Amino acid sequence: MRTPDRSIPLLTRRQALVLAGAAAMFGSSVARAAETLGFNELYSKFGVLGLEFSDKVKQLTGRQVAIRGFMAPPLKAEAAFFVLTEIPMSICPFCSTDADWPDNIVVVYLGEKQTFVQPSAPIEVRGTLEMGSWTDPETGFLSLLRLRQASYATV
Amino acid sequence: MRNLFATLIATTFLAGAAQATTIYPLDRATVLTGSPFDFKVEFNSVVKPEDVKVTVNGEDYKAVFGSEPEFVAEEKGKEDKVLGSALVLRGLTIANAGAYKIEVSAGSETKSVTWDVYGTSETPKAKNIIFLIGDGLSVAHRTAARIMSKGMTEGKANGRLNMDEMDRMAFVGTSATDAVATDSANTMSAYMTGHKTAVNALGVYADRTPDSLDDPKVETFAEALRRQTKKSIGIVSPAEVEDATPAAVVSHTRKRGDKAEIVGMLLDVKPDVLLGGGSAYFLGKDTPGSKRKDDKDYIKLFQDAGYTLATDKAELEKAAGTNTGKILGLFHTGNMDSTLDREFLKKGTVEKFPNQPGLVDMTKAALGELSKNPEGFFLMVEAANIDKMSHPLDWDRAVVDTIEFDQAIGVAREFAAKNPDTLIVVTGDHTHGVSIIGTVDDEKEGTEMREKVGTYASAGFPNYTDENGDGYPDKIDVTRRLFLSANNGPDHYETFRPKLDGPFVPAVQNENKEYVANEAYKDVPGAVFVQGNIPKEGDSGVHAVDDIVLQSTGPGSEGFKGYMEQSDVYRVLADTFALGVKQTQ
């Protein structure tokens, strides 16, 4: 059993560490205003005949945004991108012939190389939001929503 | 030292070269008369065409088979590695039943196989077949569904499931051609073609070349129906309709993951009723939610082919009432939700897709449409989520889906009662490593949850209730519940409780691509860490190699008995419909 009097200072300390880490990671970009975008805000409509991007996504396209999620295991270690998912991936779609990605993924192209983190650790990614169909030339991986020139930090 | 090394290389090389030449179909294959299949010989070395000799029952094969094969001088593997020469003859048919011994030689390579070519009855035994398949349906699922749905008093069940009322049964062996273990692709493919194949393959023998779409084909049941009859075809599954089990009714690919291509194969065969999930592979790549890599709009292509489209429960009811003859029902971009989430807890993806029909609704709609054909029909109904919930060790969801499966069997039984010329087959495709070992009783003394596990006499009986008589327990989280336990799995936390917040996710991947216990369950009161016993690359519980139980009732069911290979089931289906005989003008 956790006691409340212990957990409060712990949380505060962790938050402080996260803030410090984020500032170091994001460098100059932290000064720029980044609108936060949640996974639950990506689509305005889910339907069998397709999903519809929300007005917020449409408005933020081309702008600097921050999205929190989980890093899926990379396709290959040196891949130019990784996939950001709402929940930690319990299956590896790249590993198995029958596994599939969830429909609400965001593909992240990093501005500079960063080391991959534990896929079960929540991260915040900042980058320029890009919307529309794009096939990664190297892997053939198709995406509809991307963050370009991105960087991330664990939260 | 150098000599020893050289010898080792030579030995290894020779051992490789000594591997047998391969002939497809494999030895002991069973082939329906008149059913087209691809014949292929893979030589282990590059041979000269003039050295190749093939005989069928001692005669030159070109005379017997009646056509000229293609000789491939060099088949290439990955990175252009030369694999050897090959002979390929596509779409071969054999008209007369009997044993066919194929002998092949070229240089030092020789190989022989014998096929059993069989015919069928002259006249059909039944007009309709309803083939109901519980994906992963194991004995524990059946027992748990009976106890949870009907209850038990003093050791006797308080009621019987629909599947308990079948007249005949068989034990079915599910192993693949390349492994004792198995998956839903090769297992359903064996049912639907009469040929066993390799893990992940559908409607083909798995050859050595990397291309997944060039492997030697065998005819699917749907193709045989189109060739010999005017019967209607229905496919119903809460999985993506391009997932392995529904795909196996029509498809040919070495890789079940070729889902975009499988949608095209579905359109080629045009099942009259196609209901399930998986619309993402029907949408062109620019549509958000699409999983295609091309611009093909299969929704439109199906509509152009005369299909009425339904995208939720209400539209399915409406489509079932129209007279278009063909229904495409797609109710989810991916797999539809489990019964427990869809009907009771409203978890999973139910918020995004709130009006999904259930297996009973879909089975009723399909039967209503298909039974309009005076020539009869074949309907395949898959309860996919039994398997999809067993993999993550979510036994409560798997069992509730088994209850729904049983209710769909009830719909089939009602139909057969009015239409006695109907064969019903109820089976699984493979099993899972799961057993019921007793109960978990929250009222038992003790601080640790394992103290509350009741075994032997202390198990007592579970206290599920069904006050509203819908066949489902009024709630799943009763105080004394069935304890189902897996015999395999990844590292995970056992919580001893139903997962009310959504399907169980036992393990997640770490940065080394190893699956580790999902920490989200660590703090559930009483949760204990369970060490995995499968390789760490495994994300969930695996299929078992145990036989499955097949049950059947109606004309033709006398063919099911004793032990059968999964591919033998096809022969009973073919005989029931007399598919050795042309029934069209």
Q: Which domain CATH number covers B284?
A: 3.40.720.10
Nearest-CA distance B286 → chain A (Å)? 5
Q: Determine which of B253, B283, B336, B508 to mutate to test the interface with A (most A C-beta atoms within 10 Å).
A: B508
CA distances from B481 to A50, B3, B151, B401, B475 (A): 40, 68, 11, 17, 10
Please tell me whether residues B493 and B526 are part of one structural domain: yes
Q: Determine which of A43, A90, A95 to mutate to test the interface with B (most B C-beta atoms within 10 Å).
A: A90
Please tell me whether residues B303 and B442 are part of one structural domain: no
In the block, tokens 């990671």 appear at: A25
Pairwise pLDDT comparison (B336 vs A72), residue with the higher score: B336
Please tell me whether residues B440 and B414 are part of one structural domain: no
| Portion of chain B with pLDDT greater than 90, in percent | 91
Please tell me whether residues B140 and B278 are part of one structural domain: yes
Indicate which CATH number applies to the domain containing B68: 2.60.40.10
Strands (E), B258-352: 273-277, 308-310, 327-330
Supply the range of the domain harboring residue A145: 4-154
Q: Is A94 on the interface with B (CB under 8 A)?
A: no
Minimum mean pLDDT range among B59-68, B192-201, B326-335: B59-68
Please tell me whether residues B416 and B323 are part of one structural domain: yes
CB pair distance less than 8 Å for B291 and A95: no
Cα nearest neighbour of A40 on chain B = B352
Q: Does some domain include residue B453? A: yes
- pLDDT bin (cut points 50, 70, 90) of residue B509 is confident
Minimum mean pLDDT range among A4-8, B95-99, B538-542: A4-8
Q: State how many domains chain B has.
A: 3
Please tell me whether residues B113 and B133 are part of one structural domain: no
CB pair distance less than 8 Å for A50 and B289: yes
> Smallest Cβ distance to A88: which of B288, B289, B508?
B508
Pairwise pLDDT comparison (B11 vs B231), residue with the higher score: B231
Judge contact between B112 and B104, C-beta under 8 A. yes
Please tell me whether residues B419 and B491 are part of one structural domain: no
Q: State how many domains chain A has.
A: 1
Please tell me whether residues B361 and B443 are part of one structural domain: no
Please report which helix (H) or strand (E) contains residue B377, including its range. Answer: strand B377-383
Rounded Cα distance between B470 and B141, Å, is: 19
Please tell me whether residues B224 and B345 are part of one structural domain: yes
Q: Is A1 on the interface with B (CB under 8 A)?
A: no
Q: According to the model, what pLDDT value does residue B252 have?
A: 98
Q: Does some domain include residue B473? A: yes
Active-site residue B184, yes or no?
Answer: yes
Q: Indicate whether A142 pLDDT > 70.
A: yes
Q: Indicate whether B504 pLDDT > 60.
A: yes
Please name the residues between 3 and 32 in chain A that touch chain B, using a CB distance below 8 Å.
none
Please tell me whether residues B405 and B378 are part of one structural domain: yes
- Tokens for A23? 């500032």
Q: Which of B400, B398, B401, B396 is nearest to B381 (CA)?
A: B401
Average pLDDT over all residues of chain B: 94
> Smallest Cβ distance to A98: which of B257, B279, B352?
B257
In the block, tokens 């029509």 appear at: B250
Supply the range of the domain harboring residue B508: 435-530
CB pair distance less than 8 Å for B333 and A118: no
Q: According to the model, what pLDDT value does residue B10 have?
A: 41
Indicate which CATH number applies to the domain containing A124: 2.40.50.140
Domain final residue, candidates B59, B92, B118:
B118
